[in-house]
Amino acid sequence: MNLTQFSIERNRVVLSILAVVIVMGLVFYKSLSRDSMPPYTIRVATVVTSFPGASPERVEELITDKIEKVVQELPELKNVKSTSRTGLSVVNVELKMEVSPDDLQAVWDRLRRKLSNIQGLPSNIYPQLKDDGIGEVFGIAVGITSDGYSYSEMKDYADELRDELIKLDDAAKVEINGAQEERIFVKFENAKLKAYGMTSSGLREIINNTNILNSGGEITIEDERIILEPTGNFNSVSDIQNMLIPIGNSGQVVTLGDVTSVQKGYLTPPKQIVRVNGLTALSLHISLKEGSNVIKLGEDVDYVLSQWKQKLPVGLEVSRLASIDTYIDKKISAFLVNLFQAIGIVLVVMLFFLGIRTGLVVASLIPIVTISTFLVMGLINVGLNQISLAALIMALGMMVDNAIVVAETIMVKVEKGIEIKKAAIG
C-alpha cells in the first residue's frame, strides 16, 4: 500500500492529521524567529600585536614568525595569514569547518593560552587575540542629539538609555558610537616647575607613587583572614589637586594645584564623531539575540523611545537611525502577499483550464504545504529570514508545477477509461 492509497482509503485519519499539522503550523509561525540573515558561525580570529617604532622586518622576525609557529600547532587550523607593518603585527587565523560552534570558544581559549606562553618576545609585548564580535549585526540604531548641551550631559543620558535598551528581552548587545575617552589632564609650565626645583619626569613619578592601585594582600590570624587595602588612590579631581608635592631639600610641600592646572576632559581629536542632521550626537547600536524576533525587538525599542521622548529636556532628542526590523517586516509581508497572489492566480487558471474541482485541489496545496513547512521550520529551529523566504518563494513555483502535472496525469488516465481511484493510486 503506497502513501496515496493509504490517504484515499484512510481519508479521515489523513484529514485529522492534516488539521493538526495546519493548526501547529500556524502556532509555530507566530513563534518563528525573524532576522535579516540566518545565524552562522564565524571561524576566524585575529592576533594583533603592537610593537611601536619597529620596522616591518623586525616585526616579522621578532613577533609575527613566532606567533605563526604557535598558531600552526592547532590541529583545527585551516589557514593562517599574516601582515607585518611598521609597529604592528596582524595574524589572521581561520579554523576548519568541522569545528562546531560549541567547541569554538574552547579552541580560542587554547590559542590564547599558547600566545601567553610564547618565549622570546620583546619585553612588554603581549599578543591580543580578537575573537569577540566577529559577525555581529547591529540592525537597529538609535541616535541622541544635543542642541545646547555639553558632551558630558549628553553622554549621561546616552548611558541611561543604553541601560534601558540592554534590558529588552531580545537585545544581545548595545554599543555606543561617538563616545570620547575621558582623561584627567595635568597641565604645567616648565618655568614654574623649575622655580620650585622640580622636573616633569619627577612630577610624573610622584603622582604615580601617590596613586596606589595595587592590592595590599592579606594576612591570616588563626581562623580569620584580614584583607589589607592600601589608601591613597585618587577618587576625584580635587584629590589630585590637593595632593602634596615635596619641593627642594628643606621638607617644604605644596599642593599639586599650586604648581599645575588639573582638569577633567576628553582626548582630542576624538576617535569617532557622530552627527545627526548636522547636530552633535551619540548613536546606540543594538544587536539581536540568536533565535529572537527582530520585529518584536523593534517594537520594544519604539516603546522605550516613546517614553524617552516625553522625559528628555528641550534640546535633547532621540530618534531611529537604522531599522532593519521594518525591512524584515516588509519582506515577510511581501511573501504573504505573494502567497495569496499565487493562490488566486493558480485558482483562476485551474478553474479556466482544468475545472473547479481540480483548481480548488491544486490551489489548496499552496497554503497547506506552506503552513506545514512552518511547522517543520519551527521543529528544526529555522527562522524567517531573507534566505528561508527566498527558498519558500522558489518552492511555491515548483510545488504548483508538480501539482498540475499530477492532476493532469490523473485526468488523462480517467479520460482513457481507468477508474478514478486507480488513476489516482497508479
DSSP string for residues in 288-356: EPTT-BHHHHHHHHHHHHHHHHHHSPTTEEEEEEEEHHHHHHHHHHHHHHHHHHHHHHHHHHHHHHT-H
Question: Quick one: CA torsion of 143, 148, 151, 152, rounded to 10 degrees?
Answer: -110
Which of 247, 266, 285 is the C-terminal boundary of a domain?
A: 266
The structural domain count of the chain equals 3
Q: Evaluate if pTM is beyond 0.75.
A: no
Please, what is the average pLDDT of the chain? 85
**Are residues 358 and 412 located together in one domain of the fold?**
yes
84 and 31, same structural domain? no
Would you state the torsion angle of the CA atoms of residues 34, 40, 44, 46, taken in this order, to the nearest 10 degrees?
10
Whether 375 contacts 24, CB under 8 Å: yes
Q: Is the pLDDT of residue 331 over 80?
A: yes
Of 69 and 2, the one with more pLDDT: 69
Going by pLDDT thresholds of 50, 70 and 90, the confidence category of residue 408 is confident
Q: What residues make up the domain containing 31?
A: 17-37+328-425
Residue 213 has pLDDT above 60, yes or no: no
Asked if residue 400 is part of any domain, the answer here is yes
* Residue 237 in domain: yes
Q: What is the pLDDT of residues 263-320, one digit of tens each?
A: 888 887 888 889 998 888 999 999 988 888 889 999 999 999 999 999 899 989 999 9
Q: What is the pLDDT of residues 3-40, one digit of tens each?
A: 778 888 888 888 899 899 999 999 998 888 888 778 77
What are the Cα distances from residue 340, in Å, to 16, 113, 261, 397? 24, 57, 72, 13
Q: Any idea what the CATH number is for the domain that residue 84 is in?
A: 3.30.70.1430
Q: Do 52 and 107 have their domain in common?
A: yes
Alpha carbon distance 62, 133 (integer Å): 29
Beta bridge partners, 79, equal: 94
Same domain? For 22 and 67 the reply is no
pLDDT at 103: 87
d(CA 150, CA 137): 30
Interhelix angle 356-379/386-415, rounded to 10 degrees, is: 150
Question: Average of pLDDT values for 243-259?
Answer: 80
pLDDT at 214: 60
Q: Give me the residues paired with residue 50 across strands.
A: 88
What is the rounded CA–CA span in Å between residue 361 and residue 403? 9
419 and 336 both lie in a single domain = yes
User: What's the first-to-final CA gap in the chain, in angstroms?
Assistant: 11
Residue 386 has pLDDT above 80, yes or no: yes
Place of cell 537597529: 140
Helix H or strand E encompassing 280 = strand 279-288
Percent of the chain with pLDDT over 90: 30
pLDDT at 188 (0 to 100): 86
Residue 16 has what pLDDT? 92
pLDDT attached to residue 258 = 84
The closest of 55, 280, 264 to 148, measured between CA atoms, is 280
Kindly state whether residues 396 and 381 are assigned to the same domain: yes
Tell me the per-residue pLDDT of 117-161, one tens digit each, with 9 for 90 and over: 898 888 888 999 987 766 677 889 999 998 888 888 899 999 999
**Residue 118 counted as domain residue:** yes
Please, are residues 207 and 186 in contact by the beta-carbon 8 Å criterion? yes
